[in-house]
Amino acid sequence: MSANAAGLEVRGVSKAFPNVLALRDVSLEVHPGEVVALLGENGAGKSTLLKIVNGDYQPDSGSLNLGGRPVTFANPLEAHRAGVRVVYQEPEIVPGVGVAENIYLGELPRRGPMIDFRRLEQRVRGDLARYGFSKVLPMNLMGDMLSSAQRQLIEILRALKSNVRVLALDEPTSSLTDEEVDRLFTLVRQLRGEGMAIIYVSHRIKEILRLADRVAILRDGQMVATMPASGLSEGEIVKLMVGRDLSAIYQRRRAATDRVVLKVEHIRSNWHRDVSFEVRAGEVVGFAGLIGAGRTELAKVVFGEFPHDRGSVWVDGRPTSIRRPDDGVRAGLGLAPEDRKREGLILMRSVLENASLAILRRLARFHFIRRRLERQIASEYITRLRVRTPSLEQEVGKLSGGNQQKVVLARWLAAKPKVLILDEPTRGIDVGAKAEIYRLIDDLANQGLGIMFISSELTEILGLSDRIYVMQNGRIAGELAGEGATEEAVLGLAMAEHLSKSVAAQQHVAAEEGLAEPPAHETSPPEPER
Amino acid sequence: MKQFSEIRGPVRQVVRFVGAENLSLLIVLALEVLVISSQSPFFLGQRNLLNSLGQNIAVLGVLAVGESVVIIAGALDISVGSIAGISGVVAALVVNASWGRMQYALIAGLIAGLIAGLVNGSIVAFLRVNPIIATLGTFAAFRGVAFLIAPNGYPVGVGTRPDFTWLGSGRLLQSDAFVGIPIIMVILIVVAVLGHVLMRYTDLGRSVYALGGNATAARLAGINLTRVRLSIYAISGTLAGLGGILLAARTTSGAPLNGQGMELQAITAVFLGGAATTGGKGAVTATMLAVLILGVLSNGMNLLGVQQYFQDVATGLLLIISVAIAQWRSLRAERARTRVAAVG
């Protein structure tokens, strides 16, 4: 493969769905040995474009060229054969088998009728060593024990074992910690060096500027710009993506009072040892840390979803005995969980039913729902949050990610809690909707709510929080506020012990040449079903 | 401020009243009626409609209302036929006692059903046994209990108690020209309306849909799932109890074997009515239409002289076909959702 041969060319592609023109005359070139970042708000057409490249969809008009020759992909298999692979956000992983089997799924080496496990292990060990993932992806982990980062690595390794010329990564870092992002970047750079053409889709503009050679920006199904990445600023890119200036998205009006609405003392649980913190009325308290530091679990322990064996929770000055989520709701807490599709919404039911779910008790008179009151309250919050939905009867599953998140928030605003716990409220939603949610957080704080704000995006944590707790390995490593709250300070606290630990693990491996231990911060006990 | 208004317009109102999903059920029913009435002149006679058809579907209908609630919650109750067996025996024993009266028998049978339902609910809610396994276990166990309660395991005859058998064969508005409306049908209609109101207009109904749609999300929204799980089985058990009483009254015998196989028909009706196997979708009105479809089919096959064994084959196939259709529908809905997510 010569370096100046054309890689993938998308020429004048259009694609329409019922009621929507998803792509309009889109062209994009990706050369071998180049990383092109594909950017755009949700709904801009990024996923549709990737699906056309992968053969999931066929374009209505326009063409694809690969290596200078026109190609058509009737299905993903044909795209794979031609050397085009798209790595989607949530790869298919077989839960009951190990890393090696998952990577070589469908093409396991055989000796006669039996699987040749020795050869399989050798190959995978070689692959992992070559790409520097031996420690990140321990071979003995079963599919269901893998973190999202590890799942994506498996999907990438799957892609790499065939002769890949064009690799597209669809938001590979949305669930990765900064440390894992670095490892992924190293791999992507290595592949670029080997002459691969790479399309990289992400919402995180900062990291794109570190990685990409060129930037391609989609807006409303049209390619609005393709330009070299060097010299571009975050602000300029956002402006191109949304067509307006969003420099003021983190604006906060400080509203913190002295009244403590949530006081947590000496919590000990499966995930935590001695965690204490407090949230005041009108205050946005950020919880930063690596994935697996115990932030989501802390929210769920406080809310009553997960058990704790020691410690106390005070809401608005009163002691509570929260043992189940409904106790938490009654005490005045609200929780918008991290995974809104799996834990937040009843996708097949209407916007109305989802919005009123937390206030059924209040709406009921002799167990009969007061339907007019229900519509009135739901309308009020759905309108206030600017949820874009044709009607209150619309199935929530048919809304876009940002609007789904707003429905979850509407539910909790209707419940009028004293403390609102937001777990990654902006994950996977577009810039415009993010800005609206930031503004809402500010509004809520000004109305006197205490907000526990969990996020893995450092910029938003730093931009919105009055105070920040940094968690690390099941405890609070430190508290930052004001001038002291910088990226460096947060990262320093979040990673301190983690670094020393991984060094120790390395030495351990070197000494024994045994199997690597699974990184402690990435395994958490299975959730109890109640 | 913009207010979201309810759906308006006359055609839409009608479709909304029937429900878009129910339209296909109505069409199937109409086709059935057309075919059968063209083959048998008796079918549309009031004697057939009110006696054979009406009385036959009533017990099934009552059981299917309870089964709807359970299935919409994402669970299953295989034991309803066995519960009907128990409550029939209990009601028959009570009414035959020296102090026995129809009202006491009714109450005793309902309580027997309620207790059985609470047993199911406790196994599912507290012991966390999968609903299918739990009620498959009690399906066998409750049938055994019915035989143990019945003296020597024999059926308990109630032919000498006209006040009790009135529940099964009594009529309203009987005259020379009109065969009368069977009491048992009136009871079914009342139960169906109550079931409909429960699911559509109460907090429990909402919680049932939420539990079936996404148990984790329902719990995190502050719904007490243990209470909901107990409630759905209590409702299903009580209605199965009522079904058993009606069956005993109609057959003039509280036989331990009463209700055998009815769980299958009730489950079939619910899925035929468009409920999702995973829960969260379904409606009592749709189930009632499905009960009518099943009843007309069986009645028609009787009139046309089709062997009972063929009818069993038909029922089994119908269950599988209706679930296959439901799966296909939910797959299509899933696709529609992901398509929207990909674009918008």
The C-alpha atoms of residue A304 and residue A154 are separated, in whole angstroms, by: 35
Q: For chain B, what is the largest distance between any 2 Cα atoms, rounded to a whole number of angstroms?
A: 73
Q: Which chain A residues in 288-317 lie under 8 Å from chain B, judged by CB atoms?
A: 303, 305
User: Can you give the pLDDT at residue A466?
Assistant: 94
Q: Which of A341, A348, A353, A365 would best serve as a mutation to test chain B binding (most B beta carbons within 10 A)?
A: A348
User: What is the model's pLDDT at position B13?
Assistant: 65
Interface of B with A in 299-318 (CB under 8 A): none
Shortest alpha-carbon distance between residue B219 and chain A (Å)? 6
The model's pLDDT over B216-251, given as tens digits with 9 standing for 90+, comes to 999 999 999 999 999 999 999 999 999 999 999 999
**For the stretch A118-157, what's the b/e string if a residue is b when 16 or more beta carbons lie within 10 angstroms of its beta carbon?**
eebeebbeebbeebebbebbbbebebebbbbbbbbbbbbb
Q: Which of A20, A369, A400 sits opposite B202 (nearest CB)?
A: A369
Kindly state the average pLDDT of the residues B201-212.
96
Tokens (6 digits) for A371: 């339907």
pLDDT at B64: 97
B220 contacts A303? CB cut-off 8 A = yes
* pLDDT at B103 exceeding the cut of 70: yes
Residues of chain B in contact with residue A50, where contact means CB-CB under 8 angstroms, are: none
Q: Is the pLDDT of residue B327 over 80?
A: no
Tell me whether residues A379 and B209 touch, CB distance under 8 A. Answer: no
Residue B214 has its nearest CB partner, among A345, A380, A411, at: A345
Burial B116-150 (b: 16+ CB within 10 A, else e): bbbbbbbbbbeeebebeebbbebbeebbebbbebb
Q: Residue A246: its pLDDT value, please?
A: 53
Name which residue leads in pLDDT, B332 or A4.
B332
Interchain contact, B213 vs A346, CB within 8 Å: yes
Strand ranges (DSSP E) for A370-466? 419-423, 450-454
Measured between CB atoms, which of B217, B223, B224 is closest to A345?
Answer: B217
Does A129 reach chain B within 8 Å, measured CB to CB? no
Helical (H) or strand (E) element with A384:
helix A371-384
- Sequence letter at residue A195: G
Q: How far apart are CA A371 and CA A245, in angstroms?
A: 41
- Whole-number pLDDT of residue A499: 45
Q: Does A60 touch chain B (CB under 8 A)?
A: no
> Please, which residues bridge with residue B165 across strands?
none
Beta bridge partners of A265: A312
Tens digit of each residue's pLDDT, chain A (530 residues): 444 457 899 999 998 876 567 888 999 999 999 999 998 876 678 888 999 999 988 999 999 999 888 999 988 888 888 889 888 877 778 888 888 888 888 778 888 888 888 888 888 888 888 777 777 788 878 887 777 677 878 888 888 877 788 999 887 766 666 777 787 888 889 889 988 999 998 877 777 888 899 999 988 788 988 889 888 887 788 778 776 655 567 888 888 899 999 999 999 999 998 999 999 999 999 999 877 788 999 999 999 999 999 999 999 999 999 999 999 999 999 999 988 888 999 999 999 999 999 999 999 999 999 999 999 999 999 999 988 888 999 999 888 888 899 999 999 999 999 999 999 998 877 777 888 899 999 999 999 999 999 998 788 898 899 999 999 888 999 999 988 888 788 888 887 654 444 444 444 444 443 333 334 443 444 444 44
Contact residues, chain B, for A411 at CB < 8 Å: 221
Comparing A128-132, B38-42, B49-53, B178-182, the range with the smallest average pLDDT is A128-132
Question: Which residue out of B2, B4, B227, B334 would a mutagenesis test of the A interface target, given it has the greatest number of A Cβ atoms within 10 Å?
Answer: B4
Residue contacts between A and B (CB atoms, under 8 Å): 132
Instruction: Assess A402–B contact: CB distance below 8 Å, yes or no.
Output: no
Answer whether B203 touches A (CB < 8 Å).
yes
In sequence order, the 6+-apart residues with CB closer than 8 A to the CB of A416 are: none
| Half-sphere exposure in the Cβ direction for B1 (13 Å, CA) | 13
The predicted structure's pLDDT at residue A360: 93
User: Is A373 in the B-facing interface, judged by CB distances under 8 Å?
Assistant: no
Determine the Cα–Cα distance for residues A334 and A262; give it in Å rounded to an integer. 12
Residue A22: other Cβ atoms inside 10 A: 25
Closest to A346 (Cβ–Cβ): which among B1, B218, B337?
A: B218
Q: Looking at CA atoms only, how far is residue B203 from chain A in angstroms? A: 6
A 23-52: CB under 8 A from B: 42-43, 45, 47-48, 51
What are the chain B neighbours of A349 within 8 Å (beta carbons)?
Answer: 209-210, 213, 280
The answer on pLDDT for B337 being more than 70 is no
B164 in reach of chain A (CB within 8 A): no
CA–CA gap between residue B333 and residue A323 (Å, rounded): 36
Candidates A11, A390, A32; CA nearest to A213 is: A32
**Interface check B115 vs A, CB under 8 A:** no
Regarding an ipTM greater than 0.95, the answer is no
Separation in Å, CA A214 to CA A197, A244, A273, A322, A402: 12, 21, 46, 52, 27
Q: Which of A335, A375, A400 sits opposite B220 (nearest CB)?
A: A335
Q: Does A344 touch chain B (CB under 8 A)?
A: yes
A9: left (phi over 0), alpha (psi -120 to 50) or beta: beta
Task: Give me the torsion for CA of A451, A457, A463, A467, rounded to 10°.
Answer: 50
DSSP A212-245: -SEEEEEETTEEEEEEESTT--HHHHHHHHHSS-
SS3 for chain B, per residue? CCCCCCCCCHHHHHHHHHCHHHHHHHHHHHHHHHHHHHHCCCCCCHHHHHHHHHHHHHHHHHHHHHHHHHHHCCCCCCCHHHHHHHHHHHHHHHHHCCCCCHHHHHHHHHHHHHHHHHHHHHHHHCCCCCHHHHHHHHHHHHHHHHHHHCHHHCCEECCCCHHHHHHHHCEECCCCCCCCEEHHHHHHHHHHHHHHHHHHHEHHHHHHHHHHHCHHHHHHCCCCHHHHHHHHHHHHHHHHHHHHHHHHHHHCEECCCCCCCHHHHHHHHHHHCCCCCCCCCCCHHHHHHHHHHHHHHHHHHHHCCCCHHHHHHHHHHHHHHHHHHHHHHHHHHHHHHHHHHHHC
pLDDT at B166: 94
Spell out the domains of chain B, with CATH numbers in brackets.
46-323 (1.10.3470)
Q: How many other CB atoms sit within 10 Å of the CB of residue B301?
A: 16
**Closest-CA residue to B139 (of B166, B120, B159, B158):** B120
Burial tier of B202 (Cβ tally within 10 Å: 0-12, 13-18, 19+): middle
Nearest chain B residue to A45, by CA = B343
Tokens of A293: 């530091």
Chain A residues whose CB is inside 8 A of the B201 CB are 368-369, 371
For residue B109, is pLDDT > 90?
yes
Q: Helices B183-201 and B203-213, interaxial angle, to 10°?
A: 70
pTM: 0.76
What residue in A sits closest to B1 (Cα-Cα)? A383
Q: Is A292 helix (H, G, I), strand (E, B) or coil?
A: coil
Number of Cβ within 10 Å of residue A316's Cβ equals: 16
In chain B, pLDDT over 90 holds for what percent of residues? 64
Rounded Cα–Cα distance for residues B188 and B242 (Å)? 10
- What tokens appear for A373 in the block? 């009151």
Q: Kindly list the structural domains of chain A, giving each domain's residue range(s) and its CATH number in brackets, ordered by start.
A: 8-93+146-242 (3.40.50.300), 251-332+417-530 (3.40.50.300), 347-415 (no CATH)
Give the closest of A337, A360, A399 to B206, CB-based: A360
Per the CB < 8 Å rule, is A379 touching B222?
no
- The gap between the terminal CA atoms of chain A, to the nearest Å, is 56
Cα–Cα distance for residue pair B236/B223, rounded to 1 Å: 20
Query: What is residue B225's predicted lDDT score, i.e. its pLDDT?
Result: 96
Answer whether A15 touches B (CB < 8 Å). Answer: no
Smallest CA–CA distance, residue A164 to chain B, in Å, is: 25
Q: Looking at the predicted structure, is the pLDDT value of residue B11 above 70? A: no
Residue from A171, A326, A350 to probe the interface with B (highest B Cβ count within 10 Å): A326
Provide the total of helices (H) and of strands (E) in chain A, helices listed first.
17, 24
DSSP-derived 3-state class of residue A458: helix
CA of B73: how far to CAs of A408, B211, B214, in Å? 21, 6, 9
